[in-house]
Chains A and B, each alone.
Chain A
Amino acid sequence: AQTVTQSQPEMSVQEAETVTLSCTYDTSESDYYLFWYKQPPSRQMILVIRQEAYKQQNATENRFSVNFQKAAKSFSLKISDSQLGDAAMYFCAYRSALIPAVGANSKLTFGKGITLSVRP
């Protein structure tokens, strides 16, 4: 079974600075997807960024980028020019890329999350 670990429960960053959130995972599969989701105080889960394991290039979305190290099974999220609106819980998640057989599970496996605060 796959596991996702976020070992830092909380982090803090000064507004306009850069912060990196860590995530490691364990899998025996070679093809999979990794995600970072943001959960603000409203509690709706918002997709931040997605990475396909077969792609060597790290994904980027505006101020958000990832450092994907497949051999080390590490998937960190870098937030540049941090803004007050970035304050939220951030969850790392894993999903297999294997095409599920009918009835099989295409679930996301989540880490426990990290609470990011932004200091003005």
Chain B
Amino acid sequence: DGGITQSPKYLFRKEGQNVTLSCEQNLNHDAMYWYRQDPGQGLRLIYYSQIVNDFQKGDIAEGYSVSREKKESFPLTVTSAQKNPTAFYLCASSIDRTDTQYFGPGTRLTVL
């Protein structure tokens, strides 16, 4: 089955700890994205990558970091510098930077 997977589905973190969210796709898509969703809000772009070994900041990149060492993988690290990390995180991919974006199932991060 082709698609986008995110793990884990639920993640709990203590304050001051870094945590990494996984995103994998087997769709052979070049572009990948990370969005954050807060209650009552639409999605906001954190980071995106148009190609392997390249990534760009989105609208709310502070306190987050990413890497894109492989085409199929785009992990997101939520660092201790992120002031309010509790949210729902969605990964997306598209064939290229101009095409329709398709989403993974998401990860719910809760900071205790």
Residues of A within 8 A of B (CB): 4, 33, 35, 37, 42-47, 50, 91, 93, 97, 99-100, 102-108, 110-113
Given contacts A100-B97, A100-B98, A105-B48, contact A111 B104 (CB under 8 A): no
Inter-chain contact total with CB atoms closer than 8 Å? 61
Interface size class of B (residues with CB under 8 A): 20 to 34
Interface hits, B43-77 → A, CB 8 Å: 43-45, 48, 50, 54, 56, 58-59
Given contacts A44-B106, A100-B98, A102-B50, 11 further A-B contacts (CB under 8 A): A35-B100, A44-B103, A45-B103, A97-B98, A105-B58, A106-B98, A107-B58, A107-B59, A108-B101, A113-B40, A113-B41
> Given the known A-B contacts A44-B106, A106-B48, are A91 and B56 also in contact in the complex, defined by CB atoms under 8 Å?
no
A105 engages B98 (CB within 8 Å)? no
A43 contacts which chain B residues (CB < 8 A)?
88, 105-106, 108
Chain A residues contacting B109 (CB-CB under 8 Å) are none
- Give A22 Cβ to nearest chain B Cβ, in Å: 15
Given known pairs A47-B100, A100-B97, A100-B98, the reply for A108 and B45 (CB within 8 Å) is: yes
**Given A43-B105, A106-B31: A4 and B42 interface contact (C-beta under 8 Å):** yes
- Asked whether, in the complex, the Cβ of B42 is within 8 Å of the Cβ of A113, the reply is yes
> Given A44-B106, A45-B90, A106-B31, does the pair A50, B42 have CB atoms closer than 8 Å?
no
Bound-complex Cα distance A100 to B51 (A)? 13
Query: CA–CA, A44 to B88, complex, Å?
Result: 11
